[in-house]
Amino acid sequence: MNSIARGASALILFVSLGPAQAGAQLREGSIAPETRACAPGAAGPAARVRIQGFKNRQGGLLVRLYGDRREDFLRAGRKLKRIELRVPARGEVDVCIALPGVRRYAIAVLHDVNGDLKFSASSDGVGFSNNPKLGLGEPALSKVLFTARPGIQTIPIILNYRRGLGLRPLAGDR
């Protein structure tokens, strides 16, 4: 299997979604079941994932947290946490993730535009911690790892959508 096919398979595996999380609060500014972990005075460690560059405000979001092992990154059943919610109609999109400890992690985000619970290269967007440049394959784990610190840190993620032969942010978003 060539590297493009292997990368496309990994992205498709990454975006296989389950049913959307029931009852997730969608408030302007900060959303997700773990919002309290990013509240003022929270001890952390926590990541406030700031998702930017939406093509539109339709569908759902899937945010996955991975550890620092290459064999686990983007593999089914190997995530540390998974948060699913609908894309809010307006406002900034911050998703809080309580981190298990101070160490290295990777975050992957899918914007499932059509809500079909499958990756569609023609419409869906993806993004990763550290905002690596994407082609058709998955990014190297070393390019998306960040080191969690005590407290709360903001992790900006810019979504990438299919443009030509690769995935890139929409104009002006990088």
**Does the pLDDT of residue 16 top 50, yes or no?**
no
- As separate numbers, helices (DSSP H) first and strands (DSSP E) second, the chain gives 2, 10
- E strands, 14-151, are 46-52, 60-66, 81-86, 93-98, 104-112, 125-128, 146-147
Residue that the structure tokens 């389950």 belong to: 18
SS3 52: strand
Share of the chain above pLDDT 90, in %: 59
pLDDT band at 29 (very low <50, low <70, confident <90, very high): very low
Whole-number mean pLDDT of the chain? 82
Domain definitions of the chain by residue range: 3-18+26-166
**Does the pLDDT of residue 2 top 70, yes or no?**
no
Give 143 or 28, the one with higher predicted confidence: 143
pLDDT digits (tens, 9 = 90+) for 72-119: 999 999 999 999 999 998 877 999 999 999 999 999 999 999 888 677
Query: CA–CA separation, 107 vs 32, rounded Å?
Result: 15
The predicted pLDDT at position 172 comes to 56
Helices (H), the chain: 3-14, 141-144
Query: CA–CA separation, 83 vs 97, rounded Å?
Result: 8
Give ∠ CA 46-48-136 in degrees, rounded to 5: 110
**Does the pLDDT of residue 1 top 80, yes or no?**
no
Per the CB < 8 A criterion, the answer to whether 115 and 58 are in contact is: yes
pLDDT digits (tens, 9 = 90+) for 105-116: 999 999 999 888
Tokens representing 20? 């959307």
Nearest to 26 by CA among 85, 100, 107: 85
Per the CB < 8 A criterion, the answer to whether 64 and 105 are in contact is: no
